[in-house]
Chain A
Amino acid sequence: MLGFMWKYRTLYVISIPGILFFLVFKYVPLLGSVIAFQNYNLFAGFKGSPWVGLEHFERMFRHHDFLRILKNTLLLGTYDILFAFTAPIVLALLLNEVRLALYKKIVQTIIYAPHFLSWVIVSGIFVGMLSPSSGIVNVILGWFGVEPIYFLGEDSFIRTILVGSGLWRDVGWGTIIYLAALTGINPELYEASQIDGAGRWKQTLSITIPALLPVITVLFLLKIGDFMDYGFERVFVFQNPLNIQNSEILDTYIYKAGLKQLQYSYATAIGLFKSVVGLFLLAIANTLSRKATGESLY
């Protein structure tokens, strides 16, 4: 076996930086999660802080709004998968059908662009557009005789706004991988199907989608792992007390209760809970997928 290693020694040496990277920046920090089981004190450190077992987890589950916050987190995660995950697939398929190369390039560039805006700017744009006094949305609604609606001041609209703004910002970016996969499909398949008399719709159903399925599965599995991580900033910038009932999620709660109040242990406990749920979802989805399609992450 040593001989085997010697034979491929260059490969082993090349892999060292990568392994080191994961160890130092991913695995060692993971050990920091122990503070979820302590009453962590910045000045006492890991060694000096007292151990408190599951106290922070109990406190989290007993919190009077925990169920509401969890519900918001799960709902947003679900909407995110339903809309933000499927939209890029549809868009990529549509783009794939565009004949005019120049037009396709222009459209692609335009829909990628919002991805590079920060959430603060995105929220500024949406707050402006949705303003009841000057926003374009309410002006258009006004043409149909609808009274101006204060969209950001309502519990009932906030989830739609959150998902919608995410869609607007990232849908174009999401198409990149699918478009790349689409170019990898062998054109002979299309030619053969044309000779057999298949139309564009039939070609999409029978060639394009099956060819994309492995990519879709892998991306879906990656997405499932992040199910609980809807993101802090994108929600925080839209929050106000009038919509907080439906917009408070675990990420924003961690910020307010943990970081702002310097309760690092509590914040870590909630974060750990989130990660464990994500890991479970990933494992389940991976197993199901392996059984159903043969595709899996590991």
Chain B
Amino acid sequence: MKKVWVLALIASLAATSLAACSKKETPGASPSASSPAGASASAEQPSESAAAGPTAFSISMRTLNVAYVEQHPDINKDKYVLELEKMTNTDLDIRLIPHNEYQDKMVQMFATNDIPDVVQGSGGISGSELAGSVESGVFLPLNDLLQEHGQNLLKFIPQDAWDRMTDSKTGNVYGIPEVLSNPSRRATWIRTDLLEKAGKAVPTTVEETLDVLRAFKQLGVEHPFAGRKNFKYADTFFGSYDVFGYLNQFKEFPDGKVKPSFFDVEAMKKAIQTYKTMFDEGLISKEFATVEAADFKSIVTSGKAGMWSMNANELPIWGAQLIASVPDAQVALIPSPVGDDGKGGYAHYNPVTRSYLINAKAKDKAAGIVQFFDWMVGEQAELFFSYGLEGEDYQNEGGTIKYEQPTDTEGTNKQRYLNYWLWMVQDTTYNKRISELSESGKQMVDAFDNMLAKEGRRGIEFDPRLDALVKYPDLSPISDQLPPLVLEHVLKMVYGKEPIDSFEQVLEEYLSKGGSEVIEEATARYANKENAFK
């Protein structure tokens, strides 16, 4: 009989705890049902005072590895944030999301229904970090608000960025994008001092590039070309032959079907052969398949590499670090090696880098929030986010600005924080005002405007992603990597474990393991112009 009592006790405890849980979970489980109620409840409160006082709102932001933010004891009390609040008549409650756990934490945020007034996404309205929240009605359509309060934003941000924030079925705009006007962000870097030593000219074709790498090898350079795991930041030669096959690299083939670009068999074989030649001749590390990001950076900045690929806007920073360890090193951005079509370059980036979505429950503050972002693209914001506080970080003497560019870590961290992180809506290609101040900055601007703007590869992109790619993760490229199934075979071919001639069989395997569905869906969606971008 004792057992019965214990069971009864357990059962009653279970019942109460379940009841407690379910009470808590109900609003979380169906925000779409509860959000109108929440919105109307807050609308009942007097809103006259809101017009005079600052607009108070919470915003979630990814830390993006920005040291200043990650090391700050309380970012909401930072003097620049306080100044920003003063200038925009707002009261921000910034909630940081750790860079490396971004997706997990975002999903957690949605799952527990602890959603701030403004949510920072990372481009587009259907990214996995948003976990389908846009379709579920968590966010406010902004069309009318932008017309009324965001005229500067509408002028500043190009249409293709707005398209990314628009649900093509309803025409609703769900977010304010930060843009990348030059999507060709990565560049080929070369050590010009080594080039001179080898007596070679700047290479243009793949063949010439291999010759230069061979010459580097003879000079004793440890990594003539810096390789990295999964060809990340080492995909230069896939670009030469236009066979990336990433999410934005679908192409219309002569047979009328839309396929990933590596379906161009001959070009793909040439690209793989190039890497195999490099591997066999020791022009790329024999163990590049296990080189991680940190190793890659230390190989480059310690002067062990002759040529590599990196984001062009890193030139001032990586360049300085390289020269710190190898004083007579010289580095330049050069046009990427071209393939048979005379073109080359890297996969283009999404035109939207960050985006800001407004919670449907924050409807009564939304006008103030849109005005806040509208201010970001004005003159005052440009000065503040480029230099900092007037009188403290820079002097304005009758229109001429005096600003000393920082050289220590603390100063560069602060500058990166202002230029890149806290400036929420801008053209993030490079900072015009800061780049003008240094030689490497000018070199970078020149590379962006005159060289990178002309190169790079892009194809058709589907956003939201193809359903078939979600269903078959083996076939889905992970950002800037080939799909796992293809990558595995390509690496084995480079390492000499499979013949390159069997690439046709790889494609057959791709098709048989779900690839036919991918191509069918891609072709249909492209034909119907359903969230397909070119």
Bound-complex Cα distance A180 to B341 (A): 72
**Residues of chain A lying within 8 A (CB to CB) of residue B470:** 261, 263
Interface of B is mostly: helix
Q: In the complex, which residue of chain A has the Cβ closest to the Cβ of B231?
A: A241
**Residues of chain A lying within 8 A (CB to CB) of residue B133:** 42-43
Bound-complex Cα distance A244 to B111 (A): 32
Q: Interface readout for A116-153 with B: 1 if CB under 8 Å, 0 if not?
A: 00000000000100011100000000000000101011
Chain B CB within 8 A of A46 CB: yes
Interface centre among A24, A45, A46, A133 (most CB of B within 10 A): A45
Bound-complex Cα distance A241 to B474 (A): 12
Chain A CB within 8 A of B257 CB: no
Whether A28 and B17, one on each chain, are in contact in the complex, defined by CB atoms closer than 8 angstroms, is yes
Chain A: residues with CB nearer than 8 A to chain B?
1-2, 4-5, 16, 19-20, 23-24, 27-28, 41-48, 64-65, 127, 131-133, 148, 150, 152-153, 240-242, 244-245, 256-257, 260-263
Whether B2 and A1, one on each chain, are in contact in the complex, defined by CB atoms closer than 8 angstroms, is yes
List CB contacts (< 8 Å) of B470-506 with chain A: 470, 473-474, 476, 484, 487-488, 491-492, 495, 497
Q: Evaluate whether A242 and B289 lie within 8 angstroms (CB atoms) in the complex, with A1-B5, A43-B132, A261-B128 already known.
A: yes
Q: In the complex, which residue of chain B has the Cβ closest to the Cβ of A259?
A: B104
Bound-complex Cα distance A45 to B22 (A): 11
Whether A44 and B107, one on each chain, are in contact in the complex, defined by CB atoms closer than 8 angstroms, is no
Q: Evaluate whether A241 and B484 lie within 8 angstroms (CB atoms) in the complex, with A132-B286, A260-B473 already known.
A: yes
**Residues of chain A lying within 8 A (CB to CB) of residue B287:** 131-133, 150, 152-153
**Residues of chain B lying within 8 A (CB to CB) of residue A43:** 29-32, 110, 132-133, 136, 138
**A256 partner, pick from B5, B18, B31, B473, beta carbons under 8 A:** B473
Q: Evaluate whether A262 and B289 lie within 8 angstroms (CB atoms) in the complex, with A20-B13, A42-B110 already known.
A: no
Chain B: residues with CB nearer than 8 A to chain A?
1-2, 5, 9-10, 13-14, 17-18, 21, 25, 28-32, 107, 110-111, 128, 131-133, 136, 138, 229-230, 285-287, 289-290, 470, 473-474, 476, 484, 487-488, 491-492, 495, 497, 513
**Residues of chain A lying within 8 A (CB to CB) of residue B107:** 42, 262
Whether A257 and B473, one on each chain, are in contact in the complex, defined by CB atoms closer than 8 angstroms, is yes
Q: Show 6 residue pairs from A and B whose CB-CB distance is below 8 angstroms, ordered by the A residue.
A: A1-B2, A2-B5, A20-B17, A42-B131, A45-B25, A240-B289
Interface centre among A5, A127, A150, A262 (most CB of B within 10 A): A262
Whether B488 and A244, one on each chain, are in contact in the complex, defined by CB atoms closer than 8 angstroms, is yes
User: How distant is A249 from chain B, measured CB to nearest CB, in Å?
Assistant: 15
Total A-B Cβ pairs within 8 A:
110
Bound-complex Cα distance A43 to B152 (A): 34
Whether A47 and B29, one on each chain, are in contact in the complex, defined by CB atoms closer than 8 angstroms, is yes
Bound-complex Cα distance A133 to B227 (A): 15
Given A131-B287, A240-B289, 10 more contacts at CB 8 Å?
A20-B17, A23-B13, A28-B14, A45-B30, A46-B29, A133-B285, A153-B495, A240-B290, A241-B492, A263-B470
User: How distant is A152 from chain B, measured CB to nearest CB, in Å?
Assistant: 5
Q: Evaluate whether A44 and B290 lie within 8 angstroms (CB atoms) in the complex, with A20-B13, A263-B470 already known.
A: no
Whether B30 and A48, one on each chain, are in contact in the complex, defined by CB atoms closer than 8 angstroms, is yes
User: How distant is B14 from chain A, measured CB to nearest CB, in Å?
Assistant: 6
Bound-complex Cα distance A65 to B485 (A): 11
**Residues of chain A lying within 8 A (CB to CB) of residue B14:** 23, 27-28
Bound-complex Cα distance A201 to B81 (A): 73
**Residues of chain A lying within 8 A (CB to CB) of residue B128:** 260-262
**Residues of chain B lying within 8 A (CB to CB) of residue A24:** 17
Q: In the complex, which residue of chain A has the Cβ closest to the Cβ of B288?
A: A153
Bound-complex Cα distance A132 to B513 (A): 34
Whether A48 and B290, one on each chain, are in contact in the complex, defined by CB atoms closer than 8 angstroms, is no
Q: In the complex, which residue of chain B has the Cβ closest to the Cβ of A248?
A: B484
Whether A261 and B491, one on each chain, are in contact in the complex, defined by CB atoms closer than 8 angstroms, is no
Q: In the complex, which residue of chain B has the Cβ closest to the Cβ of A49?
A: B29
**Residues of chain A lying within 8 A (CB to CB) of residue B31:** 43
Whether A44 and B230, one on each chain, are in contact in the complex, defined by CB atoms closer than 8 angstroms, is no
**Residues of chain B lying within 8 A (CB to CB) of residue A41:** 132, 136
User: How distant is A7 from chain B, measured CB to nearest CB, in Å?
Assistant: 11
User: How distant is B232 from chain A, measured CB to nearest CB, in Å?
Assistant: 12
Whether A64 and B513, one on each chain, are in contact in the complex, defined by CB atoms closer than 8 angstroms, is yes
Q: In the complex, which residue of chain A has the Cβ closest to the Cβ of B492?
A: A242
Interface centre among B230, B290, B474, B487 (most CB of A within 10 A): B290
Whether A23 and B111, one on each chain, are in contact in the complex, defined by CB atoms closer than 8 angstroms, is no
Bound-complex Cα distance A147 to B25 (A): 61
Bound-complex Cα distance A46 to B26 (A): 10
User: How distant is A297 from chain B, measured CB to nearest CB, in Å?
Assistant: 20
Q: Evaluate whether A42 and B111 lie within 8 angstroms (CB atoms) in the complex, with A20-B13, A23-B13, A132-B286 already known.
A: yes
**Residues of chain B lying within 8 A (CB to CB) of residue A45:** 25, 28-30
User: How distant is B26 from chain A, measured CB to nearest CB, in Å?
Assistant: 8
Whether A242 and B110, one on each chain, are in contact in the complex, defined by CB atoms closer than 8 angstroms, is no
**A262 partner, pick from B29, B131, B138, B513, beta carbons under 8 A:** B131
User: How distant is A121 from chain B, measured CB to nearest CB, in Å?
Assistant: 13
User: How distant is B61 from chain A, measured CB to nearest CB, in Å?
Assistant: 21
Bound-complex Cα distance A27 to B138 (A): 31
Bound-complex Cα distance A152 to B290 (A): 8
